[in-house]
Structure 1
Amino acid sequence: MSGERTGRHEYADEIGLYFEGYGLPRIPGRILGWLLVCEPPHQTAEELAEELDISRGSVSMAMKMLSANKAVVRHAVPGSRRTHWRLRPGFWLDEAAEKARQAREWIKQTERGLELLADAPPESRRRLEEANEMYTFLAEQYGRIETLWHEQRKQ
């Protein structure tokens, strides 16, 4: 690792543990955490490996995952032939849009279950009704987030 461990390194580790707590791999979380606080805001795979004390192979696998999830993009640096990575602008708002899409998918699933239990007693349907109500609420709220976000950013 280059130099001494800093609060930024500890922060990257915390984000890695946060990821892991949700059943995701720790290394992509550490890289995401680092890209949130590093300077410059774009890093090569070599820099990521050195700063986070991880292998180049781990960086490569993590970048594939983060790229597939559209969290990071390649960044061209004049004069450099190496690939630099940075957080993708707009990623956080897109995360909310993805949550809205997932909520709408769950609504479809709960509606299918409610159709399946159409003749069942109310107590048998209650679990699905509760899930349907919750995801309907979430889909509506996530749908409002983009508008609210843009309004807030204007202020």
Structure 2
Amino acid sequence: MTQRRQRDEAALRAFVEDMARLLGDWGFPRMAGRVVFTLMAADERSLSAGELADRLSASPAAISGAVRYLGHLGMVNREHVPGSRRDRYRLVDDSWYEVTVAKMTLLKTLADAAAQGAEAAGGAGTVAGSRLANMRDFYNWVQESMPTLLDQWAELKAAKAGQPPPDPIAPAVADPAVRPW
């Protein structure tokens, strides 16, 4: 019989802070990072704002701003508690995957902006134009490659769960003209 390992609350708190710091270094709001990783590390399916504030030793205002930001990104859902004025917050299933799919058009936006910059700099034959054209080409390549990567991830995840593979990402999601946000 296998023994279930015990949670190490101190290590989980350190993990949450480390991940929030890492995301903060990349420009993600630190409190939003703390909230999302607190939700990820929780055994509960959802947490109230008060529970989040207690776990993070944070003010209700800080929690409110963070969950609003995460909701805007599509990473956290707010669920009303029937018979109460309180809400609970839960991660969207596969939130990292879903955010990536939803924001794929950002890559097209970056590629288009880089193309405009390359043109304004005198084309790919100039030093600045070459840098900007390389940026354009990179983001076009990433956008073209992303649906395949996301499909591979969905297949791997399904295989790990013993489920049939999902349908591939719909072409409309990968279509650069579609802007879901």
- TM-score by length of structure 2 reads 0.72
What does residue 116 of structure 2 align with? 112
User: Which runs of no fewer than 5 residues in structure 2 stay unpaired?
Assistant: 1-7, 160-181
**Contact 1:8 1:38 survives alignment (8 Å):** no
Displacement of 1:27:
1.2
Q: Which residue of 1 aligns with 2:164?
A: none
**Percent of aligned positions with the same letter in both sequences?**
24
The answer to whether 1:152 aligns with 2:171 is: no
The alignment covers a number of residue pairs equal to: 152
Q: 1:12 aligns with which of 10, 16, 29?
A: 16
Gap change, CA 1:43 and 1:117, over 3 Å in 2? same
In 1, Cα distance between equivalents of 2:33 and 2:124 = 44
Deviation larger for 34-43 or 67-76: 67-76
- Once residues 124 and 66 of structure 2 are traced to their aligned partners in structure 1, the CA distance between those partners, rounded to angstroms, is 47
Counterpart of 1:44?
Answer: 48
Residue 98 of structure 1 and its aligned partner are, at CA, apart by: 4.1
Structure 1 segment 69-148 matched on structure 2, within 5 A: 69-75=73-79, 82-117=86-121, 121-148=125-152
CA offset at residue 76 of structure 1? 5.1
| Cα pair 2:78 2:89 within 8 Å, conserved | yes
Confirm or deny: 8 A CA contact 1:99 1:142 kept in the other structure: no
Q: CA deviation at 1:30?
A: 0.7
Scaled by the length of structure 1, the TM-score of the pair is 0.83
Supply the RMSD in Å over aligned alpha carbons.
2.4
Closer/same/farther in 2, CA of residues 9 and 115 from structure 1, 3 Å limit: same
Q: 1:8 to 1:91 in 2, by over 3 A?
A: same
Q: Which has more helix, going by share of residues? A: 1
**Per-residue CA shift, 1:80-131, capped at 9, x if unaligned?**
6521111011321122224521111112112223333456744452112211
The answer to which structure, 1 or 2, has the higher relative contact order (CA under 8 A, 6+ apart) is 1
Contact 1:96 1:142 in 2 (8 A): no
